[in-house]
Amino acid sequence: MALLGSLVARSLFLRKKFTMRVASPLTYQLRTLRQLLEKSQYTSFGKHYHFNDILSQELDFSTAFREKIPVRTYNEMYKEWWHRAYDGEDNVCWPGKVKYFALSSGTSESASKHIPVTQDMIRSIKKVGFKQMCMMSNFKIPNIAFQKGVLMLGGTTSLFEKGEYYEGDMSGISAANMPRWMSNFYYKPGKKISRRPKWEDRIKLIVRNAKKWDVGTVCGVPAWVQIVFEEIIRYHKVNNIHEIWPNLHVYIHGGVAFDPYRESFKKILGKPITFIETYMASEGSFGFQARPKTEGIKLVLNVGIFYEFVPFNEENFDEDGNPKPNVKTFLIDEVDETTDYAVMLSTCAGAWRYIIGDVVRFSSAKEGEIIIVGRTKQFLSLCGEHMSVDNMNKAVETVSKKLNISIREFTVAGFRHNNLFAHHWYIGCDDAHADANTIRQMIDETLCELNDDYAVERTSALREIFLTILPRQSFYDYLNFMGKAGAMNKFPRVLKGKQLEDWKGWLEKQSANVVAY
């Protein structure tokens, strides 16, 4: 492995010596769209929407595509088309038969989604992974890190066989299809442990075997990586994770914003490491942080995914976050850095003008770099406060720093209160000195500074803010209770409807003492 790692490190060094010619972002995207249309024109979807006619519009086929294909959410895409592939029909939305279906983490809705994963999408994910590895030469990462193991905390690679296809977490599907050289020389916890179907069993084995490995890179969702690190530290009776893995230099994270976890991570590390954000979902792998000291994720525009961006406002979305008919979309060369956009995809897995649910803002339109600011269904705006997940994350990070406490998880609910409105924050914090009233006031003050709309509504319709401190374990116990324990599952930052009812009902049954204001 040392020899292979040296070759990888050398290759990354040589890459910096050469400048590759690249096309414009729009050129890449139009080429991608044409390839998608050409390959799928004889599928049921392609025939239904006359892809051959769209392709005949040589000069403006992208406009014809946007005019003829309606916008769809997951429920619409599945009910109209994907269910046929799920039932075994081939050539539905993409050539051939779908071999894998990714089960989403289901943060926005209670039921898990079934997202088709084609062989072309698996190849796309591998290409993005390779591009990210090349871009790591931009960061000051010691060469030794590339000679060590890569711990991937994802779903089980023991996928569930369902007749002619398999289903599981996208992370498990990706791990099961990773290149052999990666699997044999780098991948931890290894095939034997990763096949264990239960997340709890995999954690126990990872913790017990941690000292046997020399890990240089860790990948995974922050909450679960932190849990594993803490369990390793506790089990092996050490002070920090670097006493187990002295060559740990890189943490590749995604799935949720890292800011709320940053302070608590510092307490379990023995020395600074490089944090690199990536953007991957059940629908594919979209990009990664390509430049140090920037928070933007660079979209990869030439791997079988065509992007459209929908301004996330009242003209295009209803109060529940559902797109309205005939929304206006923008291509990669038309976006700006002041607008929040819902992401729309057409992919080599048979998604067509599909609203993925993420809301982004371009940190650099020129570089095609984004930050994820929320979800279409996880913004809170009962009375015009327009509070985004990005606002919530920054408020929690501010409180954590100022009060020197670790807020591991949180969620917010909005509701009517005395003919007006209120928010209720549920905070996961185990620090004995944490005071709910102080946290509540500081979160409220921070949000007023961050969000003018919120500040205005706090003087009128949004009259009350409530806050409950819970043991952080409560959030993970609830996910387990709902059958969503695992490395790729995230607790929703905003609770509405049935999700809120289930959460409140579960809390009522718990005997844990809580403090509420």
Output the furthest CA–CA distance in the chain (Å, rounded).
Answer: 69
Q: From residue 264, how far is each of 226, 267, 434 by CA, in Å?
A: 8, 5, 14
Kind and range of the H or E run holding 68: helix 61-68
Mean residue pLDDT of the chain comes to 88
Q: What is the mean pLDDT of residues 395-416?
A: 91
Of the two residues 405 and 320, the one the predictor is more confident about is: 405
What's the confidence (pLDDT) of residue 178?
Answer: 80
pLDDT tens across 161-176, in order?
Answer: 887 888 888 888 888 8
Query: Is residue 5 pLDDT above 70, yes or no?
Result: no
453 and 371 together in one domain: no
What's the confidence (pLDDT) of residue 513?
Answer: 47
Total domains in the chain come to 2
pLDDT tens across 236-288, in order?
Answer: 999 999 999 999 999 999 877 788 788 888 889 999 999 999 999 889 999 99
Tell me which residue of 356, 346, 339, 309 sits closest to 61, measured CA to CA: 346
- Which pTM was predicted? 0.83
Of the two residues 444 and 319, the one the predictor is more confident about is: 444
What's the confidence (pLDDT) of residue 482?
Answer: 84
Asked if the structure places residue 383 within a domain, the reply is no
pLDDT tens across 51-69, in order?
Answer: 999 999 877 999 999 999 9
CA distance 181 to 353: 36
59 and 128 together in one domain: yes
142 and 272 together in one domain: yes
- Among 320, 344, 377, identify where a domain stops: 377
How do beta strands 165-168 and 250-253 pair? Answer: unpaired
Provide DSSP, 420-446.
EEEEEEEEEE--TT--HHHHHHHHHHH
pLDDT more than 90, % of the chain: 57
- CATH number of domain containing 37: 3.40.50.12780
The residue range of the domain holding 489 is 389-516
- Among 377, 409, 432, identify where a domain stops: 377
Asked if the structure places residue 369 within a domain, the reply is yes
What's the confidence (pLDDT) of residue 107?
Answer: 46
Query: Is residue 484 pLDDT above 80, yes or no?
Result: no
Query: Is residue 39 pLDDT above 90, yes or no?
Result: yes
How do beta strands 215-220 and 187-188 pair? Answer: unpaired
320 and 415 together in one domain: no
Asked if the structure places residue 275 within a domain, the reply is yes
Asked if the structure places residue 310 within a domain, the reply is yes
76 and 102 together in one domain: yes
pLDDT tens across 169-220, in order?
Answer: 888 888 888 877 676 678 898 888 888 888 888 889 999 999 999 999 999 8
Query: Is residue 17 pLDDT above 60, yes or no?
Result: no
320 and 405 together in one domain: no
CA distance 341 to 309: 5
CB 308 within 8 A of CB 329: yes
314 and 408 together in one domain: no
What's the confidence (pLDDT) of residue 105?
Answer: 57
SS3 at position 98: coil
What's the confidence (pLDDT) of residue 386?
Answer: 84
DSSP letter assigned to residue 338: S
pLDDT interval class at 110 (50, 70, 90): very low
70 and 186 together in one domain: yes
pLDDT interval class at 14 (50, 70, 90): very low
